[in-house]
């Protein structure tokens, strides 16, 4: 029996097909993210959490203050790459990591958005919108696939189910998520550098 010939087009199509099959998990992640983003935006954070996030942002600003254009692109890309990959892979533990990842990232976005609006008005939100056009879909897909990966424990043939889910998730990561993250890093790194 001949080995099936590799086709980039077919691999890409099957990756999108798997994303479509996983849409209920991705939609659930988006719902969680937006729900906690609204909470982070409208409800005051507890003092300990507010201090933690503000210190985190302060350290981030200090760390990146002398970045060049390419430093920004690399920094954003590798941060998002690490976050997306681990969100997906660690979903194997009952989907716990992507579940709380969606909550934390949503809340953080809402919190930062609230501070930005307080400082610069609602127009600021339109300025930061381009930053998430490619990044957020990549993050949502990663979290959704991570959540789905955790469902292998509920299948009868656990090992076979895990291998299938993991292989499909990895293909999506390579063919869809990775290009989105590269595009996001170039756009965001360029916007941040020239805006600064």
4 part of a folded domain: no
8 part of a folded domain: no
Residue-level pLDDT at 1: 46
73 and 186 Cβ atoms separated by less than 8 Å: yes
Cα dihedral value 116, 118, 122, 124, nearest 10: -30
Residue-level pLDDT at 3: 60
* Backbone region of residue 175 per phi and psi (left: phi > 0; alpha: psi in -120 to 50; beta: other values): alpha
Q: How far is 65 from 132, CA to CA, in rounded Å?
A: 21
Q: Look at the alpha carbons of 102, 183, 173, 72 in this order and tell me if their dihedral is positive or negative.
A: negative
Q: Look at the alpha carbons of 185, 191, 52, 144 in this order and tell me if their dihedral is positive or negative.
A: negative
Residue 157 phi/psi, 5-degree rounding, is: -95, 80
Q: How far is 179 from 9, CA to CA, in rounded Å?
A: 15
29 part of a folded domain: yes
Q: Specify the number of domains making up the chain.
A: 1
94 part of a folded domain: yes
Q: How far is 168 from 68, CA to CA, in rounded Å?
A: 36
10 part of a folded domain: no
Q: How far is 126 from 122, CA to CA, in rounded Å?
A: 8
The tens digit of pLDDT for each residue in 136-178 reads: 999 999 999 999 998 888 888 888 888 999 999 999 999 999 9
Residue-level pLDDT at 62: 87
7 part of a folded domain: no
Is 120's pLDDT higher than 70?
no
pTM for this entry = 0.87
Q: Give residue 97's domain range.
A: 21-58+67-195
The secondary element (H helix, E strand) that includes residue 156 is none
Contacts 24+ apart (CB under 8 A), 47-50: 50/111
Q: What's the whole-number mean pLDDT along residues 103-121?
A: 82
- Nearest CA to 105 among 74, 140, 134? 140
């Amino acid at each position: 029996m001949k080995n099936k010939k590799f086709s980039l087009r077919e691999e890409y199509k099957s990756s999108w097909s798997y994303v479509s099959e996983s849409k209920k998990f991705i939609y659930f992640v988006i719902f969680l993210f937006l729900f906690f983003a609204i909470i982070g935006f409208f409800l005051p954070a507890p003092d300990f959490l507010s201090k933690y996030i503000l210190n985190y942002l302060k350290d981030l600003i200090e760390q990146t203050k002398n970045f060049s254009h390419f430093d920004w692109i690399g920094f954003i890309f590798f941060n998002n790459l690490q976050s997306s990959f681990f969100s997906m892979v660690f979903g194997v533990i009952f989907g716990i990591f992507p579940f709380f990842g969606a909550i934390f990232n949503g809340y953080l976005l809402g919190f930062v958005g609230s501070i930005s609006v307080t400082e610069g008005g609602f127009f600021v939100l339109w300025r930061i919108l381009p930053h998430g056009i490619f990044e957020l879909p990549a993050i949502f897909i990663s979290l959704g696939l991570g959540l789905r990966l955790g469902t292998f424990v509920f299948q009868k043939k656990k090992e076979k189910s895990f291998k299938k889910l993991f292989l499909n998730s990895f293909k999506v990561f390579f063919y869809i998520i990775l290009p989105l993250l590269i595009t996001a890093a170039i756009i965001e790194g360029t916007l941040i550098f020239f805006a600064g």
